[in-house]
């Protein structure tokens, strides 16, 4: 039997609700969760029965396309367009979160002799770590972000944050050079980008 009931939720309020959903939580929803936490708030609880009968879980919800909604019995074109528009917002939110999620994160310099040119500088790092300015690194699906932190004893220094979008990365070069009085081999990753200037970053 075709479903023909129009949704009742206000458009602006519904869009705000969908944008605030956590896609990672949605992925774990059961069929009942989808009905109670999604269909009802967006005013499409009239689709509850076909969703339950066809086992539309949260993971399946995020994979639905318009032809699937039609197969589920939503006969009114306007309903399908609104449903897909709301679902599109949820999918976009998930995609944005996936792209911004850290694939790797860390801080330099680390407690390794390969990061230091000689024994004196390494000892200084070990004894007076609060005097060393560190850099937080975050690699995501969008690009590379790093933030230069103030040294622990520097209450007036400024922090600096920079970001390189992968679209602007032109070349990568990995260099190796002796460190720690030639006892270790340090590695330096050079990232050349057109974002602003050619940027050199260090990785060991």
Cα–Cα dist 148/7, whole Å = 50
pLDDT confidence of residue 155: 65
Q: Is residue 125 a contact partner of residue 132, using CB atoms and an 8 Å limit?
A: yes
The answer to whether 119 touches 98, Cβ cutoff 8 Å, is no
Taking residues 121-136, what's their average pLDDT?
A: 80
Determine phi and psi for 46, rounding to 5 degrees: -65, -15
Rank 111-115, 157-161, 168-172 by mean pLDDT and report only the highest: 168-172
The pLDDT value recorded for residue 156 is 65
What mean pLDDT is reported for the chain?
83
Pairwise CA distance, residues 188 & 178, whole Å: 11
Token pair, residue 73, equals 């019995």
Q: What's the pLDDT tens digit per position in 66-120? A: 999 999 999 899 999 999 999 999 999 999 888 888 888 888 877 777 677 777 7
Does 7 have pLDDT greater than 60?
no
Distances in Å between the Cα of 198 and the Cα atoms of 36, 79, 97, 169 are: 52, 51, 28, 9
Q: Between 181 and 28, where is the model more confident?
A: 28
């Amino acid at each position: 039997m075709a479903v023909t009931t129009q949704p009742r939720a206000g458009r602006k309020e519904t869009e705000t609700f969908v944008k605030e959903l956590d896609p990672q939580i949605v992925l774990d929803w059961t069929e009942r969760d989808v009905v109670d936490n999604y269909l009802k708030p967006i005013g499409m609880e009239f689709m509850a029965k076909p969703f339950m009968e066809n086992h539309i879980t949260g993971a399946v919800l995020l994979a639905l396309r318009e032809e699937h909604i039609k197969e589920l019995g939503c006969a009114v074109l306007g309903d399908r367009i609104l449903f897909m528009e709301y679902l599109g917002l949820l999918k976009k939110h998930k995609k944005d979160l996936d792209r911004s999620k850290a694939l790797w994160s860390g801080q330099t310099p680390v407690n390794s002799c390969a990061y230091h040119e000689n024994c004196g500088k390494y000892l200084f790092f070990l004894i007076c770590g609060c005097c060393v300015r560190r850099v937080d690194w975050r690699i995501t699906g969008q690009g590379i972000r790093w933030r230069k932190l103030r040294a622990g004893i520097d209450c007036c220094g400024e922090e600096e944050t920079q970001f390189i979008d992968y679209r602007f990365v032109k070349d990568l070069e990995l260099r190796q050079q002796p460190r720690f009085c030639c006892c270790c081999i340090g590695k330096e990753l050079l990232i050349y980008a057109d974002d602003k200037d050619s940027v050199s970053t260090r990785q060991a």
